[in-house]
Amino acid sequence: MSSEATQPFQRIVQDYSEKIRQGRLVAGTRLPGIRELSEEYGVATGTVQRALTELRNEGLIYSHQGRGSFVSDSSGSDDQDPTTLAIRALESQVAELRARLDKLEQGGDE
pLDDT of residue 77: 46
Rounded CA-CA distance 102/37 in Å is 18
Q: Residues of the chain whose pLDDT is less than 70? A: 1-5, 74-82, 84-85, 88, 92, 108-110
pLDDT of residue 102: 79
Nearest to 99 by CA among 48, 30, 21: 30
Are 69 and 106 a contacting pair, CB within 8 Å?
no
pLDDT of residue 2: 43
With 0-12 CB in 10 A as exposed, 13-18 as middle and 19+ as buried, what is 42?
exposed
Positive or negative: CA dihedral 97, 30, 9, 2: positive
Q: Which helix (H) or strand (E) holds 64?
A: strand 61-64
pLDDT of residue 79: 45
